[in-house]
Amino acid sequence: MEKLVLIIHSLAALVIIGLVLLQQGKGAAAGASFGAGASQTVFGSEGSGNFFTRATWTIAFVFFVTSFGLAVIAKSQS
């Protein structure tokens, strides 16, 4: 059981890192005025921000739950 939770925890950490690196910064809106905004049409008119934000929150919740689970498992084994 501990190994399964640890694997899910590690995968969630890697996915969070990837999602954060894929998100655009706050200064990215300035690039849209120079023609860089056309690449956001793949995710719709709102851009990719909404999708990546929801995905990040979901995976962060999974990370939190697995962290709590690992703490409970470690306490019960000691």
Domain assignment present for 26:
no
Is residue 7, in this structure, part of any structural domain at all?
yes
Domains identified in the chain, total number: 1
At 22-74, the pLDDT tens digits run 887 766 666 556 655 555 555 555 556 688 889 999 999 999 999 999 999 99
pLDDT tens figures, 3-15: 999 999 999 999 9
Q: What is the pLDDT of residue 57?
A: 94
Give pLDDT, residue 45.
56
Range of the domain at 1: 1-18+48-78
Report phi then psi at 68, rounded to 5: -65, -40
CB 6 within 8 A of CB 30: no
- The confidence score (pLDDT) of residue 12 equals 97
